[in-house]
Amino acid sequence: MISVIIIGAGNVATHLYKAFTKSENVSVNQWYNRSLKSLQTFKNEVDITDDLNNLKDADIYILAVSDDAVASVSSQLPLENKIVVHTSGSVNVHDLDKKHKRGVFYPLQTFSKTAQLDFANVPICIETLDKPDYHILKELAISIGSPVKKVNSDQRKVLHLAAVFVNNFTNQLYRIGHEITESEGAEFDLLKPLILETAKKVQDLSPYMAQTGPAKRNDKKTINKHLKLLQSEEHKAIYNVLTESIKKTHGR
Amino acid sequence: MISVIIIGAGNVATHLYKAFTKSENVSVNQWYNRSLKSLQTFKNEVDITDDLNNLKDADIYILAVSDDAVASVSSQLPLENKIVVHTSGSVNVHDLDKKHKRGVFYPLQTFSKTAQLDFANVPICIETLDKPDYHILKELAISIGSPVKKVNSDQRKVLHLAAVFVNNFTNQLYRIGHEITESEGAEFDLLKPLILETAKKVQDLSPYMAQTGPAKRNDKKTINKHLKLLQSEEHKAIYNVLTESIKKTHGR
């Protein structure tokens, strides 16, 4: 049995809490947040607190707070020589106060308040400063059904950066698709199966192999038709920069 | 029973052939290609030909050829007053020879040679010059289990353009994610669940509502960290143009 204490009440904290309580191998000893309001829903099932000086004992303390708060909250923890991990993709493990046994427990996924999430689809990237701490963190991740990967700081940073490309930037392309279709009274819904198929394709095929379309073929006629259709200079700039990128990737 | 003749042997033609033969409501009377080689696999199940003057009779002739070939092949068809449709997102319906009853049967999906495709996930966008022809084309689409949408030329053009954004350009962002992670020896595989979840999210939520990340928050610290990490000027340009686009969309 691994005991944990969660610090923070955002999306990551809440999804982790739910996954931990479902696991037979994990007990959540306490849940801290600076305001108790966000924790009220759970007060009958777990010990909640808004006082760091009140923290109980546990095997692992999980800091699921905003990036900017990691350093200061970790230094305020009245603990010594306990395993304290943050959950951020971009914060340095050394930003945690050095009185702790420091580590990172980074779930590589997009979390929203509403959607149910199966942790089988949430790879956990683990980094520890001390080797032995890795094992208990790995066990914790396995307990909630997550794939686990040992990832050093440099690798975690590029994963976080790549995640911005494949998640935030991709989502903005969906948004532009939405704007373009609605401008002619066409339905964005018609694009949804294509969006899903595009994501499914690269589960088995490399993105290089999966590519199709006018940019890859360097089909200038279609590219010019598209540029004429685009009314926004911003959309044109995005069309051009990504078309050039595809052409370069495929040697055009 | 609707009878069809397929012209062309590319991915769209082949996937349509397979879907038609599975349907109890459709018979493929003949399959034409300028070279019989690509059709050899099917010669025992369907009448194949490489001679347009040999074309049989059918309710619908489906031109699944490259965009540039639509006009010329349609004019070579020794038919009059028969329903002839092309399957392209960007070719004008008037590019079909006017001796035909002209229409478009545009499957809005990405087709690859290998992957199995369920036509329930392939919306068919239908356009006809003569109203009555719409109904038989709609029935044909329904026969293979596809959602059907009446779409005019302008709408089809923007759908095709939007498809480039959500499919080709998105896939290039996956490719860049691949390059960035591999540059540090991290695994692209770790990003696959995120890629899928990002696509799933907008099935129920608008892309506007689904957006998260540093650009939306205008988190300059993280944005600068990312720009420093990026080694390629091309990747930096893409990062900048999409970050600005997200900031604009979300009023930053």
Classified by CATH at the fold level, domain A156-249 comes out as N-(1-d-carboxylethyl)-l-norvaline Dehydrogenase; domain 2 (1.10.1040)
**Where do you find CATH 1.10.1040.20 in chain A?**
156-249
Tell me which residue in B157, B167, B185 faces A229 most closely, judged by beta carbons. Answer: B157
Q: What is the pLDDT of residues B139-197, one digit of tens each?
A: 999 999 999 999 999 999 999 999 999 999 999 999 999 999 999 999 999 999 999 99
Residue A7 pairs in a beta bridge with: A32, A63
**Where do you find CATH 3.40.50.720 in chain A?**
2-151
Q: Which of A3-12, A105-114, A122-131 is predicted with the least confidence, judged by mean pLDDT? A: A105-114
Three-state SS annotation for A24-66: CCEEEEEEECCCHHHHHHHCCCCCEECCHHHCCCCCEEEECCC
Please, what's the largest Cα pairwise distance for chain B?
A: 68
Selected residue of B144, B196, B202 to mutate for chain A interface (largest A Cβ count, 10 A): B202
pLDDT tier at A51 (50, 70, 90 boundaries)? very high
Give the mean pLDDT of B51-78: 96
pLDDT tier at B117 (50, 70, 90 boundaries)? confident
Question: B-chain residues within 8 Å CB-CB of A104?
Answer: none
- In this structure, whether the domain defined by A2-151 belongs to CATH 3.40.50.720 is answered with yes
Selected residue of B169, B191, B206 to mutate for chain A interface (largest A Cβ count, 10 A): B169
Three-state SS annotation for B24-57: CCEEEEEEECCCHHHHHHHCCCCCEECCHHHCCC
Q: What is the pLDDT of residues A203-228, one digit of tens each?
A: 999 999 999 999 999 999 999 999 99
Tell me which residue in A122, A166, A208 faces B173 most closely, judged by beta carbons. Answer: A166
Chain B residue closest in CA terms to A171 = B207
State ipTM. Answer: 0.94
Question: B-chain residues within 8 Å CB-CB of A90?
Answer: 222, 225
Chain A residue closest in CA terms to B194 = A109
pLDDT tier at B116 (50, 70, 90 boundaries)? confident
CB B177 within 8 A of CB B191: yes
| DSSP-derived secondary structure letter, A145 | T
pLDDT tier at A71 (50, 70, 90 boundaries)? very high
Pairing verdict, β A101-107 and A124-128: antiparallel
Local structure of B124: helix, strand or coil: strand
What's the Rg (C-alpha) of chain A? 22
Tell me which residue in B183, B200, B215 faces A196 most closely, judged by beta carbons. Answer: B200
CB A105 within 8 A of CB A90: no
pLDDT at A237: 97
pLDDT tier at A58 (50, 70, 90 boundaries)? very high
